[in-house]
Amino acid sequence: MSFFPPSTNHQYRGAKVSVWFLTLSAVLTLIPAAIHSFLPDGGAEVIGGLDLGDRRELVIGLFRWEGATQFALGFAVLAVALRYQALTPLFLALLIVERGLITLHGWVLGPQGGHHPPAHYASAITVVLAGIFLWLSLRPSGKQPAHDVEGTKP
């Protein structure tokens, strides 16, 4: 028994560019994961521009927690992009939900007129791009495998 089940890449019929976008999304999730986990302030002051005030340890703890969840998500997305590409549409949809909520909270439901960290801008752009790549991932790419999963002709 191996750590990873067999690859499902042969079952993916969507646009390959959608897989590349998912790979990029994984990398762009792992970078902030490292920042939130390992920078002394978790990136809260240096990148986020937050005034931590008298709750410094609480804010840094929350940023580290976010970094831990970003590592788990980033590695899961990377596994899909590299070995389980049949799940690409699902993970692009989940990316839209995650980034859509970040955008909603950052621009609509959150405090108005304040500072916006880079993630607020990137999330809004990501929602649009992920929607395009989701659509492409759901369209057959034109090259269909000769056999389905069970090895019989379609």
pLDDT tens digits for range 3-27: 899 999 999 999 999 999 999 999 9
Secondary structure of residue 43 in the 3-state scheme:
coil
Asked if 36 and 17 touch (Cβ cutoff 8 Å), the reply is no
Res 61: pLDDT? 93
The percent of residues in the chain predicted with pLDDT above 70, rounded, is 90
Q: Please state, in angstroms and rounded to a whole number, the distance separating the CA atoms of residues 28 and 46.
A: 18
Helices 16-38 & 88-104 angle (0-180, nearest 10): 50
Average pLDDT over residues 38-54: 87
Banded pLDDT at 45 (limits 50, 70, 90): confident
CA nearest neighbour of 143 among 8, 16, 2: 16
pLDDT tens, position by position, 73-132: 999 999 999 999 999 999 999 999 999 999 998 888 877 667 777 788 899 999 999 999
Q: Please state, in angstroms and rounded to a whole number, the distance separating the CA atoms of residues 38 and 66.
A: 12
pLDDT of 143 > 90? The answer is: no
pLDDT of 63 > 80? The answer is: yes
**Residue 54: CB partners within 8 Å, gap ≥ 6?**
none
Asked if 7 and 84 touch (Cβ cutoff 8 Å), the reply is yes
pLDDT of 153 > 90? The answer is: no
**Residue 38: CB partners within 8 Å, gap ≥ 6?**
67
Res 132: pLDDT? 98
CA nearest neighbour of 92 among 21, 13, 32: 21
Q: Please state, in angstroms and rounded to a whole number, the distance separating the CA atoms of residues 8 and 11.
A: 6
The better pLDDT of the pair 100, 44 is held by: 100
